[in-house]
Amino acid sequence: MLKHLLIRDFVIVDTLELDFSSGFTALTGETGAGKSILIDALSLALGERADSAMVRAGCDKADISAEFDIADLPQLKAWLREQELEGDDGICLLRRTLDAGGRSRGFINGGSATQQQMREAGAMLLDIHGQHAHQSLLRADAQRELLDSQAGLTEQADAVAAAWKAWQAIHRRRVQLEQNAESVAAERELLAFQQNELETLNFVETEWYELQAEHARLSHAASLIETAQFGVDVLSESDTACLAQLNALTSRMRAGLEFDAGLQDTLTMLESAQNELQEAVYALRHYQERLDADPERMRQQEQRIADVMEAARKYRVKPEQLPQKLQEFAQRLEELGGSADLDVLAKQDEAAQQSYLAAAKKLSAARGKAAQALSDEITAAMQTLAMQGGQFAVALLPLTEGNAHGLESVELQVSANPGSPLRSLAKVASGGELSRISLAIQVAASRAASVPTLIFDEVDSGIGGRVAEIVGSLLKKLGQRHQVLCVTHLPQVAAQADHQWQVSKEAHGGKTLSSIQVLDAPRRIDEIARMLGGATITDTTRKHAAEMLGAAA
């Protein structure tokens, strides 16, 4: 419920800070005192459109903060987690600022929020019923949800939505395949050819690097053979070969050891070098034997490289990416499926449709019973709200093919006067009638309503006397389940309230400012008396006011 509201520099409000209680609270005051300012400020905090004219004259910006207790609102808690806008446990704080230039900013629990996010959060917190405010019951989805919630059909409706979603997914795929059958067949034929072409090439990424290395070796075979032979000659076969001279040197060094042992270390190094050079000679001879300047092998390698390069150019990829391209062709072929896949899809489509229809028909039957009961209850309530002979109906309008919400749309219809045809609630012109009808709906459906705070504006339009007492009684009854605020001009309605606030405006320093005062018992008698008798309050009107409050209590 709404716990706290802080308003700064809004219209004719300087600073206004209010703490709210549960139950039914009436807002009263002279005409033009600014009773609707509270509602306008809350509307702004809930994401309604802003206007620079809302900023108090001479001020830079207006600031509205509304704090709500959400301990019993799991749906809102989940939404806040999803939006990463969580705050203190069990608390939701909505804040809206508006500067004199018309630019506004929104915050939820201190985090920056879009206007749409403010509206989504506000829709789960508070409903304002009146001629000049947003009204959830005018939305088609809210009307359907009202009926389903009232009848305990929410889970059943969710199951129908899931069945519809599953059916549509299969149906769209089937239709797509059928509509594109010719183009799909052509694409399959091309893909099969391309897949076969790359499979025949039998190319893997590692082969490309091996091909390049072997081609480089074969193309320089003669030069490499010559280089190896030159090495053999230099080391062991020429007249001045390194090994021959090194052998002669080591022989003389061994002879010198007889006279000086200090030559041993040098001899050891020379013998090691001698062994290394001999190994190099063996390696070069082995390399010569292995190296083959084979023209035919060279031609085969060049042809293989040419084939791979041609395929790479054809499919516009690098040679080493050809295996990946082959995988893409195979995957796309699998996605397209074949005639057998279309037959399977057709059977799955039919089965999913039948599953949806079975669930939707069951939901329709349950909605039919609930719609009649709710229609009778609200029609009866209308008779006590100055709409004698009026009629209310929860109409189930058949849909040709159904949708995610079932085989019908739900429309709330009303006839406010005897003999008038039923019309959509959204087309009711009178703000007063709309408010009273909304009141009747909310009372009838209050046990299923999920919004904790309800505000009513102009519910007393065009009524008085006994009807006004009934309106007050209904609001008091509604206040047992919800937090209810009502702007009223009627003492019969105000007297039924659990709490009463008086809105007034005064001139300060040449400026008109609005304020709200929480009334205690004596001041409440005075305010009810004013509402009964006008500017002059007599002992009689004061006594009458006390009697009304006593009777309501």
Where helices occur in 1-139 by DSSP H, the ranges are 35-45, 74-82, 115-123
Please tell me the predicted confidence (pLDDT) of residue 551: 85
Residue-wise burial string across 257-290, b where 16 or more C-beta atoms lie within 10 A, e elsewhere: eeeeeebeeebeebeeebeebeebbeebeeebee
Position 20 confidence tier, pLDDT thresholds 50, 70, 90: very high
Higher pLDDT among residues 133 and 195, named by residue:
195
262: domain range? Answer: 186-336
Q: With beta carbons less than 8 A apart as the criterion, state whether 550 and 532 touch.
A: no
Bridge partners, residue 106, by sequence: 96, 113
Q: Which amino acid is at 549?
A: L
Bridge partners, residue 169, by sequence: none
Q: With beta carbons less than 8 A apart as the criterion, state whether 317 and 325 touch.
A: yes
Please tell me the predicted confidence (pLDDT) of residue 359: 95
The single residue listed with the structure tokens 């659990």 is 498
Q: What is the mean pLDDT of residues 247-275?
A: 86
Burial of 214 (0-12, 13-18, 19+ CB in 10 A): middle
Position 133 confidence tier, pLDDT thresholds 50, 70, 90: very low
Q: What is the mean pLDDT of residues 473-479?
A: 87
In this structure, the answer to whether residues 476 and 533 fall within a common structural domain is no
Q: Mark which of 287, 320, 336 sits at the end of a domain.
A: 336
Q: With beta carbons less than 8 A apart as the criterion, state whether 490 and 475 touch.
A: no
Q: Is residue 39 part of a domain?
A: yes
pLDDT of 535 higher than 70: no
Number of domains in the chain: 3
Instruction: Specify the pTM.
Output: 0.57
- Between 23-32, 45-54, 254-263, 292-301, the lowest mean confidence (pLDDT) is in 292-301
In this structure, the answer to whether residues 548 and 504 fall within a common structural domain is no
In this structure, the answer to whether residues 552 and 480 fall within a common structural domain is no
Average confidence score pLDDT of the chain = 84
Residue 510 φ/ψ region, left for φ over 0, alpha for ψ in the -120 to 50 degree band, beta for the rest:
left
Please tell me the predicted confidence (pLDDT) of residue 446: 58
3-state class (DSSP) for residue 341: helix
Q: Mark which of 336, 355, 378 sits at the end of a domain.
A: 336
Q: Is residue 8 part of a domain?
A: yes
Q: Is residue 318 part of a domain?
A: yes
Please tell me the predicted confidence (pLDDT) of residue 96: 95
In this structure, the answer to whether residues 116 and 239 fall within a common structural domain is no
Cα separation, 75 vs 91, whole angstroms: 13
Cα separation, 32 vs 30, whole angstroms: 6
Q: Which of 218, 237, 190 is nearest to 304 (CA)?
A: 218
Could you tell me the two tokens for 236?
Answer: 């062991």
Q: What is the CATH number of the domain that holds 458?
A: 3.40.50.300
Q: With beta carbons less than 8 A apart as the criterion, state whether 488 and 476 touch.
A: no
Cα separation, 27 vs 474, whole angstroms: 16
pLDDT of 448 higher than 70: no
- Name the E strands within 389-439: 391-403, 406-415, 423-424
Q: With beta carbons less than 8 A apart as the criterion, state whether 441 and 135 touch.
A: no
| Half-sphere exposure in the Cβ direction for 347 (13 Å, CA) | 5
pLDDT of 540 higher than 80: yes
- Between 291-295, 404-408, 420-424, the lowest mean confidence (pLDDT) is in 291-295
Please tell me the predicted confidence (pLDDT) of residue 188: 80
Position 134 confidence tier, pLDDT thresholds 50, 70, 90: very low
DSSP code for 321:
G
What value does the CA radius of gyration of the chain take, rounded to a whole number of Å?
Answer: 45
In this structure, the answer to whether residues 213 and 329 fall within a common structural domain is yes
Sign of the dihedral defined by the CA atoms of residues 232, 238, 244, 246, in that order: negative
Q: Is residue 407 part of a domain?
A: no
Could you tell me the two tokens for 491?
Answer: 């003492």
In this structure, how many other beta carbons lie within 10 angstroms of the beta carbon of residue 353? 18
Q: Is residue 261 part of a domain?
A: yes
pLDDT of 132 higher than 60: no
Percent of the chain with pLDDT over 90: 33
In this structure, the answer to whether residues 525 and 508 fall within a common structural domain is no
Q: What is the per-residue pLDDT across 38-86, written as a single tens digit (0 to 9) for each?
A: 888 999 999 988 888 899 988 999 999 999 999 989 989 999 999 999 9
Q: What is the per-residue pLDDT across 153-204, written as a single tens digit (0 to 9) for each?
A: 989 999 999 999 999 999 988 888 777 666 777 888 888 898 898 888 888 8
Q: For helices 339-383 and 154-179, what crossing angle results, to 10°?
A: 150
Q: Is residue 260 part of a domain?
A: yes
Q: What is the per-residue pLDDT across 359-376, written as a single tens digit (0 to 9) for each?
A: 999 999 999 999 999 999
Q: Mark which of 336, 359, 382 sits at the end of a domain.
A: 336
Q: Is residue 158 part of a domain?
A: no
Please tell me the predicted confidence (pLDDT) of residue 182: 67
Q: With beta carbons less than 8 A apart as the criterion, state whether 392 and 444 touch.
A: no
In this structure, the answer to whether residues 30 and 107 fall within a common structural domain is yes
CA-CA-CA-CA dihedral for 526, 527, 533, 535, to nearest 10? 90
In this structure, how many other beta carbons lie within 10 angstroms of the beta carbon of residue 553? 8
CA angle 234, 239, 245 (to 5 degrees): 75
Q: What is the mean pLDDT of residues 258-281?
A: 86
Please tell me the predicted confidence (pLDDT) of residue 383: 83
Q: Which amino acid is at 402?
A: G
- Reduced 3-state DSSP string for 257-307: CCCCHHHHHHHHHHHHHHHHHHHHHHHHHHHHHHCCCCHHHHHHHHHHHHH
Please tell me the predicted confidence (pLDDT) of residue 295: 64
In this structure, the answer to whether residues 304 and 327 fall within a common structural domain is yes
In this structure, the answer to whether residues 547 and 487 fall within a common structural domain is no
Q: Is residue 43 part of a domain?
A: yes
Cα separation, 503 vs 130, whole angstroms: 18
Q: With beta carbons less than 8 A apart as the criterion, state whether 428 and 416 touch.
A: yes
Q: What is the mean pLDDT of residues 524-538?
A: 85
Please tell me the predicted confidence (pLDDT) of residue 218: 64
